[in-house]
């Protein structure tokens, strides 16, 4: 446990040191939730108007998309941090020294996305809490806090999925960044944030049931429509928890196998 806490602490120092000193990254992190919401609402308003959306989904478009952007950014923070880290370490030349760490891999890979996730969750909450309070009063505060908690759960449940993708990807291809540029939008679609999964074709819908975060996102969408967490929503959260627990050891194994493949070919040290 001490080892895990030390690694988490080190990751916070590393990520915040890096982000704060990269001005453009810091500014984009601050501006992203607002930009994304305005962009999507703008497109939606241009296409059919806000009332059409409410008629079709039963949810307030502003709350739906502001929550959606918040969830998407939080989950993508996890996935980006994990999926890009080996390449980043490779470019920095730190990969051999990182691999030489005897610390348990599960600790390290759970710790990696936490600092950026914390930042995105905290910054993003400043964009959703005021809007919910403005539209729904005190109950809006409770709803927004529930959404924040579920967003954290959805993001954390994406760690094992990211590990799984990372292990497979880095084991099978040498041009990871090219594949990642395809994988990223696919993840965005299959999460069902902007295009709810009940509206997807059945094959895509089936795949989304294998992604724990998609189930939590559906529970959030049901909360936005009916303003309560019904038994089906709790079932979705249970499914997501079970899948996370199943995927975590598989994800870590996938990473260990990738490291094994790297060692067989030789870790680049120049």
Partner 1 sequence: MRDYSIVAEGLVKRYVTRQRKGLFKSTPQVIEALRGVSFKVRRGEVVGLLGPNGAGKTTTVKILATLLIPDEGDAWINGFHVVKDVDDVRRGIGVVFSVEKGFYAKLTGRENLRYFAALYGLSSSEAEKRVEELLRLLELDKLGASDRLFEEYSLGMKARLGLARALLRDPPVLILDEPTLGLDPPSARKIRSLVREMAGNGKTILYTTHNMFEAELVCDKILLIDKGRIIAEGTPGKLKEKVAGKRTIVAHVRGDKMLVSRTIEGLEVEKVSVEESEEGLTVRLLTRSPEEVAGILLRELVARGVEVYTLRIEEPTLEDVFIYFTSGVGHEGTT
Q: Give the N- to C-terminal CA distance of the chain in Å, as an integer.
A: 34
Q: How many residues bind partner 1 (CB under 8 A)?
A: 30
CA angle 226, 228, 233 (to 5 degrees): 95
**Candidate ranges 18-26, 37-45, 132-140, 162-170; the one touching partner 1 (CB under 8 A):** 18-26
Q: Would you count residue 174 as binding partner 1 (CB under 8 A)?
A: no
Q: Would you count residue 3 as binding partner 1 (CB under 8 A)?
A: yes
**Taking a C-beta distance cutoff of 8 angstroms, is the pair 70, 128 a contact?**
yes
Q: Would you count residue 266 as binding partner 1 (CB under 8 A)?
A: yes
Treating both helix axes as pointing N-terminal to C-terminal, what angle do 61-92 and 158-172 enclose, rounded to 10 degrees?
40
In the chain, which residue ranges form alpha helices assigned H by DSSP?
Answer: 2-21, 23-47, 50-57, 61-92, 95-99, 105-111, 114-136, 138-156, 158-172, 176-190, 202-208, 212-226, 231-265
The distance of closest approach from Cβ of residue 28 to partner 1 in the complex, given in angstroms and rounded to an integer, is 16
| Distance in angstroms (rounded) separating the CA atoms of residues 114 and 72 | 15
Q: Would you count residue 62 as binding partner 1 (CB under 8 A)?
A: no
Q: Would you count residue 172 as binding partner 1 (CB under 8 A)?
A: no
Residues 89-148 that bind partner 1 (CB under 8 A): 92-94, 96-103, 108
Q: Would you count residue 256 as binding partner 1 (CB under 8 A)?
A: no
Residue of the chain from 10, 168, 183, 200 that contacts partner 1 (CB under 8 A): 10
Q: Would you count residue 87 as binding partner 1 (CB under 8 A)?
A: no
Structure letter (DSSP) for residue 267? -
Residue of the chain from 1, 2, 175, 182 that contacts partner 1 (CB under 8 A): 2
Residues lying near partner 1 in the complex (CB under 8 A) are found at: 2-3, 6-7, 9-10, 13-14, 17-18, 21-22, 92-94, 96-103, 108, 263-264, 266-267, 269-270
């Amino acid at each position: 446990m001490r080892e895990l806490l030390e690694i988490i602490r080190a990751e916070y120092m590393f990520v915040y040191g890096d982000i704060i000193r990269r001005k453009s990254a810091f500014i984009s992190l601050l501006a992203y939730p607002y930009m994304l919401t305005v962009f999507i609402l703008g497109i939606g308003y241009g296409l059919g108007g806000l009332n059409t959306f409410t008629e079709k989904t039963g949810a307030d478009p502003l709350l739906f998309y502001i929550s959606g952007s918040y969830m998407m950014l939080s989950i993508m923070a996890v996935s980006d941090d994990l999926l890009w880290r080996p390449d980043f370490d490779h470019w920095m030349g730190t990969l051999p020294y990182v691999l030489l760490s005897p610390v348990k891999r599960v600790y390290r890979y759970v710790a990696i996305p936490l600092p950026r996730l914390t930042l995105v969750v905290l910054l993003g909450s400043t964009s959703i809490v005021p809007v919910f309070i403005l539209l729904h009063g005190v109950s809006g505060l409770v709803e927004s806090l529930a959404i924040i908690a579920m967003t954290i759960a959805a993001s954390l449940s994406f760690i094992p999925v990211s590990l799984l993708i990372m292990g497979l990807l880095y084991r099978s291809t040498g041009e990871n960044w090219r594949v990642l540029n395809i994988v990223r939008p696919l993840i965005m679609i299959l999460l069902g944030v902007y295009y709810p999964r009940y509206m997807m074709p059945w094959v895509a819908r089936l795949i989304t049931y294998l992604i724990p975060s998609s189930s939590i996102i559906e529970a959030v969408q049901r909360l936005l429509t009916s303003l309560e967490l019904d038994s089906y929503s709790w079932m979705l959260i249970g499914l997501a928890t079970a899948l996370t627990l199943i995927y975590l050891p598989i994800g870590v194994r996938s990473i260990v196998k990738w490291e094994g493949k790297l060692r067989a070919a030789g870790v680049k040290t120049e």
